[in-house]
Amino acid sequence: MNIQRRGRRADAAHTPIQQLPWQQPQHTLAPSRILSDDQVEAIHRQSLKVLEVIGMDVLLPEARDILQKAGALVDGERVRIGRDIIEEALKSPPSEFTFHARNPAHNIRVGGKWIAFAPVGGPPNVSDLDRGRRPGTLEDAGNFVKLAQFFNTVHTAGGASVDALDVHASIRHLHITRNKMVYSDKVPFIYATGRARLFDGLEIIRLARGISQEQLLQEPSAYTVINTNSPLKLDMPMAMGIIEMARLNQIVVVTPFTLLGAMAPVSLAGGMVEQNAEALAGLALSQLVRPGAPFVYGGFTSNVDMKSGAPAFGTPEYMKACIIGGQLARRYGLPYRTSSTNAANSVDAQAAYETVFSLWGAIMGGGNVIQHAAGWMEGGLVASYEKFALDVDLLQMLQEFLKPVVVDEAEMALEAMQEVGPGGHFFGAQHTLARYATAFYQPMISDWRNFQAWQQAGSPTADKKANALWKQALAEYREPWLDPEALEKIDAFVARRVSEGGEKTDF
C-alpha cells in the first residue's frame, strides 16, 4: 500500500516505501529577477516588433483565417500580428485555475504560487540497469504512469513518459490514453499531433470522469503541450491543437523550443525575444478562438554545444532563461511552464548536477508547471527508471525545503535549552523525543550511514538503490478505483476506434 507518513528510514527489505503525503507545494520564496523591469519591457516591445515586422509562418489555413479576421496581415503562410491583437489577447486568460482530475482529491491549481511536478514526457527510448537502453513499449509507458501515480510528489499522470513503439502509430494514442486513465487518477496529458488523437484523448478522459460534454466544457480536464517550430513557425498539428483545445476550454501550454545558436539567436536576449514572440502568437490564437480559455506560458530556451551542435541542458544559460521566462510570464499574468532537464547519457554525477541546476532555475523562476521533473535523460531521448526514482527523492526534498519555517514558543525551544543546559546534548530531551520521528526529511535514496556500516551493507550506490526503489514501487502500486461502467465504456470506445484505424498515418 501507499504509506503516507514520515518516519525513520526502513532497513528491512520488505518494509513499504515511506514517502511524503499527497500535497501540492507552493512558492514560499519570492521569484528571482535577472532583468530589470525596463529590460523586461524591452524584450516585450522587441517581441511585438518581431511579430509585426517578420511575423510567423502559420501552416494551417484555419489558423491564418482566424488571425486575419482579427486584423493580422496574411501573405501566403506568413502572418504578421499587430500589437493590438496581442494586447487584447493578454486581457482574457485566467491567471490561476483548477485542473480537474478524475479523482477530485488529485485536482491541482495552476498559476499563482502553486507548483505542479509532471514526469518525463515523450522520449522514444527507455532505460534501466537490468535491460539497458532500448525502444519504449506499451508496458514501459504503463509502468511510468504507475510510478507517477504511486509517488505523491508527482502531480500529473504524465504525457506518454515513453513512447510505445511496439504499437502502430495510428492507434498508439488510444492504448496509452486508456492505460493512463485506468492506471492513474491524476490529471492527464493528451496528444495534439492530430485532430483524431486529440478528440480520442478527450473522449477517453470524459468517459473516465463520467461527465457530460457540457461539464467538460466548464472544467479543464486535460492539457497538451504545443511546441512551435522555432524559429517563428507554427505547423498544422500544433495550430490545430491550440484551436481545438481552446474551443473546448481545455489547457494549452505553448512552449517554443528555442535552442540558442541553432533555432534561436546565439545571444540569450535574442533567444528570449524569439521565445516570447512565439508564445505570444500562440496566446493570440488561443484567445481569439475562445477568450478566457486556460493558457500556460511555456519556456524551453537552452543552448547547443557549439562544438557538436547537440542540445545542452542544465546549463547556466538554461537556468537564466528559466528565470527570465518567469519574469515575462508574471509580466503577462500567466501561469508559467518550465522544465527539469539534463543532457547526461547515464545516471551519473552529470545527470544529478544538471538536474539540480535546471530544477533550481525552474523554482527561482517561479515555475507553476514543471515538466520532465522525474525520469528525463539524454536531453529527452530516454526515460530512465532509475532517474525517475532519484528524481522523486529530489522533488520531495524540494517540497520540504519550500515549507514555511514555524517560529513560535514551542519551536524556539527555550525549555529544551533549559533542560539540557550548557555542555549537554539534546538526544534525550523531551523536546527531541516528541519530534524526532518527523523532525527531518528522511530520504529514499541518500545513504547517511558511516563508511563501515555502508560497506557492510554491500556498498550500495545511488543508482542501485534507485533500481530497487522503482521495482518496489511497482510491486506496491495499486490500481486506483475506476467505475466498472466507465471502464467498460472506455474499452468499447478504444476497440471501436482501433477498428476504424485511429489517426490515419499511412497515405
Over residues 487-499, mean pLDDT: 98
- Indicate the pTM of the whole model: 0.95
Of 92-101, 111-120, 154-163, 180-189, least confident by mean pLDDT is 154-163
Find the angle CA(153)-CA(159)-CA(162) to the nearest 5 degrees.
100
Render 70-114 in DSSP notation, one character per residue: TT-EEETTEEE--HHHHHHHTTSS-SEEEE--SSGGG-EEEETTB
Dihedral (C-alpha) 59, 60, 63, 69: value to the nearest 10 degrees? 80
Residue 465 clears pLDDT 50, i.e. is over it: yes
Residue 420 clears pLDDT 80, i.e. is over it: yes
Q: Which three cell numbers stand for residue 58?
A: 502559420
pLDDT in the model for residue 14? 72
In tens, the pLDDT along 312-324 reads 999 999 999 999 9
Residue 6: band (very low, low, confident or very high) from pLDDT cuts 50, 70, 90: very low
Residue 35 clears pLDDT 90, i.e. is over it: yes
Domains of the chain as residue ranges with CATH: 17-404+441-506 (3.20.20.480)
Contact in structure between 127 and 466 (CB atoms under 8 Å): no
Residue 9 clears pLDDT 50, i.e. is over it: no
Most distant CA pair in the chain, distance: 82
Over residues 14-43, mean pLDDT: 96
Contact in structure between 334 and 292 (CB atoms under 8 Å): no
pLDDT in the model for residue 161? 78
Percent residues over pLDDT 90 in the chain = 94
Q: Which residues of 147-179 are buried (b: 16+ CB within 10 A; e: fewer)?
A: bbbbbbbbbbbbbbbbbbbebebbbbbbbbbbb
pLDDT in the model for residue 2? 42
pLDDT in the model for residue 11? 45
Mapping DSSP onto H, E and C, the string for 184-241 reads CCCECECCCCCHHHHHHHHHHHHHHHCCCHHHHHHCCCCEEEECCCCCCEECHHHHHH
Residue 8 clears pLDDT 50, i.e. is over it: no
In tens, the pLDDT along 329-384 reads 999 999 999 999 999 999 999 999 999 999 999 999 999 999 999 999 999 999 99
CA distance 68 to 79: 8
Which residues lie closer than 8 Å to 94 by C-beta, 6 or more apart? 111, 292, 294
Mean per-residue pLDDT over the chain, rounded = 95
**Strands 376-377 and 311-312, bridge-based pairing:** unpaired
CA distances from 506 to 168, 241, 260, 417 (A): 11, 21, 35, 75
Greater confidence, 160 or 213?
213
pLDDT in the model for residue 13? 55
Residue 506 clears pLDDT 70, i.e. is over it: no
Residue 427 clears pLDDT 70, i.e. is over it: yes
In tens, the pLDDT along 390-415 reads 999 999 999 999 999 999 999 999 99
